[in-house]
């Protein structure tokens, strides 16, 4: 009996359906083993699809392709050398217009490592990490209001229609990727100011509330993602104001309206975990209205930090060694 059969024995709630959607690779893709492990310095840091492997095989000085792995040439001995060699390949592939995701080249890099606490092995433009299944890290701020009449209300943003990814979709009030050079708190403050004009005074209420982890797959690539989640209670009279032209508009929604919004096709799929986690922590989604509550919570925290190391274990048990 495979995993999806087991899950489908029960009626899936609307939230669980969403959790399956933003975990499409974790629940369905991962088991197929159609991807090759991406190995850097003897450690798996990602996964590469067959379509990407074909293109990487055109750079034999950079990548060593084997039946189960794509290995970055071990001759590149340090962070800078690895980063520079990958960048030249990616820029070449970008110029050849091979992958839609590279159209969104950002000149903004993410660190590449297996676990968050690892020393980064290289950096890579954020538009390219999905080609290698590199875990992305980001920061999200749930801006909320305890409204005297409407109760718990949540600020959402509509993304600008000119954005490369998810244009015009509804999204969390403030969210941003953890780029090279910024730590978590710096990213929260930077994005809070740029996206919603959150002043230092308002940000005094900011508090860390955990993480969500999920593994999404789309036609663009593979998206293992961990978001550092912050809650920020805002005064009822505050209205966010965008500064970086990446936001179309903001709207303050009641908890009920927020649920309808995340369930609509107008919401960015990969931003749903943060909102669902917020609604769970604040008691809106609870075991009385969600029969598969433990499953939903687990699907907001899938084990990304050990996924590639475990994957290695399975492969090794099956007689495939890492470097082959």
Q: Kindly state the smallest distance separating residue 298's Cβ from its own copies, in Å.
A: 5
Dihedrals phi, psi of 45, to nearest 5 degrees: -120, -5
Query: What is the rounded CA–CA span in Å between residue 134 and residue 130?
Result: 6
Q: Interface with its own copies includes 2 (CB under 8 A)?
A: yes
How many residues sit close enough to its own copies to count as binding (CB under 8 A)? 51
Q: Which is nearer to its own copies, 26 or 99 (CB)?
A: 26
Query: What is the rounded CA–CA span in Å between residue 290 and residue 288?
Result: 6
Please list every residue from 85 through 124 that binds its own copies, using CB under 8 A. Answer: 114-118
Q: Which residue has the tokens 């969403």?
A: 18
Q: Interface with its own copies includes 303 (CB under 8 A)?
A: yes
Identified binder of its own copies from the candidate list 125, 228, 253, 275, rule CB under 8 A: 228
Identified binder of its own copies from the candidate list 74, 236, 313, 324, rule CB under 8 A: 313
Give the count of beta carbons closer than 10 Å to the beta carbon of residue 83. Answer: 21
Q: Interface with its own copies includes 146 (CB under 8 A)?
A: no
Query: What is the rounded CA–CA span in Å between residue 258 and residue 236?
Result: 17
Q: Interface with its own copies includes 219 (CB under 8 A)?
A: no
Could you give the residue ranges of the DSSP H alpha helices within 162-268? 184-196, 200-203, 255-263
Q: Interface with its own copies includes 283 (CB under 8 A)?
A: yes
Q: Kindly state the smallest distance separating residue 283's Cβ from its own copies, in Å.
A: 4
Alpha carbon separation from 272 to 12, 99, 214, 255 (Å, rounded): 17, 26, 10, 14
Q: Kindly state the smallest distance separating residue 179's Cβ from its own copies, in Å.
A: 16
DSSP string for residues in 161-192: TT-SSSTT-EEESEEEE--TT--HHHHHHHHH
- The residues of the shown chain that bind its own copies, judged by CB under 8 A, are 1-3, 6, 9-10, 31, 43, 114-118, 137, 184-185, 207-211, 213, 226, 228, 280-283, 286-288, 291-295, 297-298, 300-306, 309-310, 312-314, 322
């Amino acid at each position: 009996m495979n995993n999806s059969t087991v899950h489908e024995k029960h009626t899936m709630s609307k939230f669980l359906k969403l959790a399956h959607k933003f975990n499409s690779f974790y629940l369905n893709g991962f088991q197929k083993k159609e991807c090759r492990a991406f190995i850097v310095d003897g450690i798996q840091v990602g996964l590469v699809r067959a379509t990407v492997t074909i293109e990487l095989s055109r750079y034999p000085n950079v990548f060593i392709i084997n039946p189960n792995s794509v290995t970055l040439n071990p001759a590149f001995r340090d962070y800078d050398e690895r980063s520079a060699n990958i960048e030249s390949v990616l820029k070449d592939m970008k110029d050849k217009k091979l992958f839609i995701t590279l159209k969104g080249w950002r000149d903004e890099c993410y660190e590449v490592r297996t676990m968050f606490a690892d020393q980064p092995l290289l950096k890579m433009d954020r538009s390219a990490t999905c080609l290698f299944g590199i875990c992305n890290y980001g920061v999200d701020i749930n801006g909320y209001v305890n409204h005297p009449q409407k109760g718990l209300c949540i600020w959402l943003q509509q993304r600008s229609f000119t954005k490369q990814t998810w244009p015009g979709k509804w999204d969390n009030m403030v969210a941003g990727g953890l780029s090279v050079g910024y730590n978590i708190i710096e990213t929260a403050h930077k994005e809070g100011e740029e996206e919603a004009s959150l002043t230092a005074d308002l940000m005094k209420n900011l508090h860390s509330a955990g993480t969500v982890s999920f593994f999404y797959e789309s036609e663009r690539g593979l998206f293992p993602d961990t978001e550092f989640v912050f809650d920020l209670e805002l005064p009822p009279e505050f209205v966010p104001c965008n500064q970086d032209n990446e936001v179309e508009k903001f709207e303050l929604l009641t908890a009920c309206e927020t649920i309808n919004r995340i369930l609509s096709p107008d919401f960015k799929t990969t931003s749903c975990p943060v909102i669902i986690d917020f609604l769970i922590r604040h008691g809106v989604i609870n075991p009385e209205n969600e029969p598969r509550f433990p499953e939903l919570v687990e699907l907001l925290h899938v084990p990304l930090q050990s996924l590639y190391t475990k994957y290695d274990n399975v492969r090794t048990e099956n007689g495939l060694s890492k470097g082959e």
